[in-house]
Amino acid sequence: MNSLVHIEPGQWVLAYKEGYGPFPGSGELREALDRLVYEGSGWTCLNRPADQFDVLHVARVMPKTFTVLDEPGRRFRDQVVAAASTEGEIVALRDKLFGIGVAADRAIEEETARVMAEFARKTRADGLAKIHRALPHIFGREA
């Protein structure tokens, strides 16, 4: 996606926090969004939607940047994921996008645990038997 999300003054936008989205000017927004299939986009330090995304109220829009009400400096427009007329719409989208990776990771972990449970039980039992055989003076010779 090489085009920027259309934004206007007064709108609310969902934008990546600096350092957690595409590199400014790289045109890699699609790749960054694809990483949402992982909880926190694969960043273990991102535990909440607000850790990864900012919800911002647009003050002024320029070709490559925009300013935010009551915030100094400019933000890069290529970090913007979506725009809406209300803050609530953007917060709901932020939570939904973050939740996709959380749900996917949870489902994968649960299925992995289910599939691996019998193997893990057998492997631990084999390991325990090896420990007992290695220390017959503690566990006895019948181990």
How do the pLDDT tens digits run along the chain, 143 residues long? 468 999 999 999 999 998 888 877 677 888 889 988 988 787 888 889 999 999 999 999 999 999 999 999 999 999 999 999 999 999 999 999 999 999 999 999 999 999 999 999 999 999 999 999 999 999 988 74
- pTM assigned to the model: 0.78
Q: Please, what is the Cα angle at 7 between 2 and 81, to 5 degrees?
A: 55
CA distance 49 to 77: 20
